[in-house]
Amino acid sequence: MDHKEEEEASVSVSVPPEEQEQEEEEEGEEEDQEEQEVKMALGPQLPLKDLLRLHLHLHKGEGEGEGEEEEDDSLRRWKEQLLGPDALHTTNIPALGVGETVEPEVTILNLTILAPGRPHLLLPIPFLPDGKGHAFALKDGTAYSFRFSFAVSNNIVSGLKYSHTVWKTGVRVENQKVMLGTFSPQQEPYTYKAEEDSTPSGIFARGSYSARLKFVDDDGKVYLDMRYSFEIRKDWPALPN
């Protein structure tokens, strides 16, 4: 991904400039280490749509009778492995969500915060800050989890992962990296739910936090690079009437 494309994938929600500068310095060191990893060259790639058409063309041009029936079973297994069970019910290649380009597209649609006894808080991405510049607020010392939905199109995305880093007054307090896996294009969004966690408790844990959420694949293509702020309070925010 070139610099222009990376800028388009990046959004920011109310992070103080002095804190962001310190955070970027820490992250720059980590990214330099990741770029030093050796990548294996796998040769030229084909758009998934072309690959499917080639496979269908070769299938139609081979055999009759029992041989053709065996090819049908082989084709069904191949499509299911490549594109999932939905691919078994259509020969309409565009309907499978594949595109003309080699590059996959991943769109992070939303994030939902889940907490016992509270309504689910659905946050469209990019987040919309409140009057204080916070994307959301959590109660201190309470259990919570989150899930997010994302869509994959054009081609298979390999090694999709996300990192989530949190700072308080410029000091990093959390640095999480999670491998999600490999996903084929499909019309329905995927959903990932994280394990339950707890917010820190006590008066010193309360206040404003800044965070960075980033989604990237094995090739280093960035699909979302979002900075935002949130708040930990003594009590939950009042529910809207």
pLDDT tens, position by position, 185-214: 998 999 999 999 999 999 999 999 999 999
CA 93/CA 76 separation, integer angstroms:
14
**What are the Cα distances from residue 208, in Å, to 107, 169, 232?**
28, 8, 7
Per-residue pLDDT at 46 exceeds 50: yes
Could you read off the pLDDT of 22-41 as tens digits, one per residue?
Answer: 666 666 666 665 555 434 44
- Sequence-ordered list of residues with C-beta below 8 angstroms from that of 173, at least 6 positions apart, any chain: 166, 167, 200, 209
Per-residue pLDDT at 52 exceeds 60: no
User: What is the architecture of the domain spanning 3-35+102-233?
Assistant: Distorted Sandwich (2.70)
The arithmetic mean of pLDDT across residues 61-83, rounded, is 53
User: What three-state secondary structure class fits 122?
Assistant: strand
Per-residue pLDDT at 220 exceeds 70: yes
Give pLDDT, residue 154.
87
What confidence tier does 61 reach under pLDDT thresholds 50, 70, 90?
A: low
Per-residue pLDDT at 100 exceeds 90: no
Contact 227, 210 (CB under 8 A): yes
Taking the complete model, does pTM exceed 0.75, yes or no?
no
Give pLDDT, residue 113.
97
Per-residue pLDDT at 58 exceeds 70: no
Contact 178, 162 (CB under 8 A): yes
User: What one-letter code names the amino acid at 26?
Assistant: E
Per-residue pLDDT at 171 exceeds 90: yes
Contact 108, 125 (CB under 8 A): yes
Of 58-62, 79-83, 111-115, which one has max mean pLDDT?
111-115
Give pLDDT, residue 73.
65
Give the chain's mean pLDDT. 78
Query: What tokens appear for 97 in the block?
Result: 């969500």
Taking residue 123's Cβ as centre, other Cβ atoms within 10 Å add up to 16
Per-residue pLDDT at 106 exceeds 80: yes
How far from each other are the two terminal CA atoms of the chain, in whole angstroms? 45
Map out the domains of the chain as residue ranges.
Answer: 3-35+102-233, 48-95
Range from 68-77, 116-125, 168-177 carrying the lowest mean pLDDT: 68-77
What confidence tier does 240 reach under pLDDT thresholds 50, 70, 90?
A: confident
Q: What is the chain written as a DSSP string? A: --HHHHHHTEEE-S--HHHHHHHHHHHHHHHHHHHTS----------HHHHHHHHHHHHHTS--THHHHHHHHHHHHHHHHHH-GGGGG---GGGGTB-SSSS-EEEEEEEEEE-TTS--EEEESS----TTS-S-EEETT-EEEEEEEEEEEBS-EEEEEEEEEEEETTEEEEEEEEEEEEE---SSPEEEEPPPEE---SGGG-EEEEEEEEEE-TT--EEEEEEEEEEEESSPPPPP-
